Structure 1
Amino acid sequence: MSGVLNVTDLKTGYGKQEIVHGISITAQPGHITCVFGPNGSGKSTVIKGIAGLLPPWAGKITLGDADLTGLPVHEMVRKGIVMMPQGGGVFPRFSVMENLRMGGYSLKDTREVDDRIETLIADYPNLQRRRNVAAGSLSGGEQMMVAIARALVPNPAFVMLDEPSAGLSPALVNETMDRVLALRERGVGVIMIEQNIREALPVADSVYIFAGGKNKFSGTRDDIRSDEHLMSIYMGGTVSE
């Protein structure tokens, strides 16, 4: 399934606490959509709501003409939306190949899963050589490769990344952004939550800034006039400030 991913007036949260107060996002296929905002602004909560990890309390989620609102995680994966958690979330005791097979859990045809894995792992020579090694023994950069390759196994239309640069060295941050650009080159749409604005902004095709669980800005990086303008919005100001 492909098409534009639209999130309209989404409200969700945890327990009885509403965190996201009617946020809307439009993500284009084959584009990188970056979401910025201070801690507590609702960034991660939004993508958990899109992924099916949190139920939508209000609003609508569509991919092309298909209404995906309220679908559980495994159904969202089948529809083409995959979330990669913060830090990649590899299974450290599982081998590289076992981790990649976990990415195909929503697919019924095991032969199809194996074929996709072999195609993907060929793009990552380091993983190809270490396919039977426990993922926990890999470097941080290699673990990120495993996580990204695993997310690609179900052949998604969109991959959502929750702060992929968190805890990485500057060199690995640059490598991670290169991996994000490679997803775009594959035609995969990316929604990326990031705190590292300086590194993420240059790769963004579109930008959203959240504050207090609400949209404060949507546009392109060229619409951000200056660092001062960006920080004003980031800290909860208005676009005109």
Structure 2
Amino acid sequence: MSALVAENVVTGYGKQEIVRGVSVTAEAGKITCIFGPNGCGKSTLLKAIAGALPLWNGTTLLDGITLSNLPVHQVVRNGLVLMPQGGGVFPRLTVTENLRMGGYAIPDKRLMERRIEALIDQYPSLARRRHTAAGSLSGGEQAMLSLARALVSEPRFILLDEPSAGLSPAMVNETLERITTLTAQGIGILMVEQNIREAMPIADKLYILAAGEKRFEGSPQDVRDDRQIMDIYMGGV
């Protein structure tokens, strides 16, 4: 089984410990969601797994290969990509130039350009605006650009930090549908979301964090069957 595993992760900022011994596992071809209140360490955990934040303790592995504290570009080459909250597009760069940023870790630039062309064909709205500065795109178009950029390196796993943030209800649905289609290609998704109502139906597995610690692990049905968990952490969804 292809899997992304984080074991006993401890990390934070400065001297402040944010994530306290959290372990999560995401499987290929499945969507694993992390829920929890603001400030509980969800985004910090994703950054540590992606190599954007040093691990203070613990281990991260992708298909048994240790990723712990590797530089981000090496993590990407091993098949793991982070799509940060808000997408992180480069507003002054064109759509095509943003996609090239997603392929920075690919040594063969001709291969990178072929992948970009293939992705643009899959995203008609981006194809129409490929020479347009990303900052002039709508929020939904920027979300699609961010997702397409994450795919340029052909990752085996994608970390998504609140992909629905700031989107209209229609674009939330489209974005989550796009994410679901990626699993059909065998890509594993580890996703942090605040939009529990929309994300929970597409999740295969859930984790709930609070105060930097894991408080729950199970299936969506396990959550629904636990009224206390639903009321305390899920707002009764």
TM-score for both structures, normalised by structure 2? 0.95
Alpha carbons of structure 1 residues 139 and 227: separation in structure 2 relative to 1, 3 Å = farther
Corresponding residue of 2:150: 151
Deviations 1:163-183 (A, max 9, x none): 111111211111111121122
Matches of 1:128 and 1:167, distance apart in 2: 23
SS at match of 1:38: coil
Amino acid in structure 2 at the alignment position of 1:199: E
Q: Kindly indicate whether residue 58 of structure 2 is the aligned counterpart of residue 54 of structure 1.
A: no
SS at match of 1:30: coil
SS at match of 2:164: coil
Q: Which runs of 5+ in 2 are unaligned?
A: none
Amino acid in structure 1 at the alignment position of 2:180: L
SS at match of 1:100: helix
Q: Kindly indicate whether residue 64 of structure 2 is the aligned counterpart of residue 65 of structure 1.
A: yes
Q: Which runs of 5+ in 1 are unaligned?
A: 236-241
- With 77-86 and 223-232 compared, the bigger mean Cα shift is at 223-232
Corresponding residue of 1:121: 120
Q: Do the aligned residues in 2 keep the contact of 1:52 with 1:71 (CA within 8 Å)?
A: yes
Deviations 1:173-199 (A, max 9, x none): 111111211221222111110011000
Amino acid in structure 2 at the alignment position of 1:18: E
Structure 1 position 232, deviation (Å):
4.0
SS at match of 1:192: strand
Amino acid in structure 2 at the alignment position of 1:162: D
SS at match of 1:217: strand
RMSD: 1.4
Q: Do the aligned residues in 2 keep the contact of 1:216 with 1:233 (CA within 8 Å)?
A: no
Q: Kindly indicate whether residue 235 of structure 2 is the aligned counterpart of residue 231 of structure 1.
A: no
Matches of 1:87 and 1:31, distance apart in 2: 23
Q: Do the aligned residues in 2 keep the contact of 1:217 with 1:233 (CA within 8 Å)?
A: no
Corresponding residue of 1:92: 91
Matches of 2:225 and 2:99, distance apart in 1: 42
Corresponding residue of 2:178: 179
SS at match of 2:224: coil
Q: Kindly indicate whether residue 171 of structure 2 is the aligned counterpart of residue 168 of structure 1.
A: no
Alpha carbons of structure 1 residues 120 and 17: separation in structure 2 relative to 1, 3 Å = same
Structure 1 residue runs of 4+, over 3 Å off? 226-233
Q: Do the aligned residues in 2 keep the contact of 1:209 with 1:233 (CA within 8 Å)?
A: no
Structure 1 position 131, deviation (Å):
1.0
Corresponding residue of 1:142: 141
TM-score for both structures, normalised by structure 1? 0.93
Corresponding residue of 2:28: 29
Matches of 2:178 and 2:76, distance apart in 1: 21
Q: Do the aligned residues in 2 keep the contact of 1:4 with 1:29 (CA within 8 Å)?
A: yes
SS at match of 1:115: helix
Corresponding residue of 1:239: none
Question: When the two structures are aligned, how many residues end up with a matched partner?
Answer: 234
SS at match of 1:222: helix
- Give identity over the alignment, percent: 59
Matches of 1:9 and 1:172, distance apart in 2: 35
Matches of 2:142 and 2:215, distance apart in 1: 34
Corresponding residue of 1:191: 190
Structure 1 position 228, deviation (Å):
3.9
Q: Do the aligned residues in 2 keep the contact of 1:117 with 1:153 (CA within 8 Å)?
A: yes
Structure 1 position 8, deviation (Å):
0.5
Matches of 1:86 and 1:173, distance apart in 2: 14
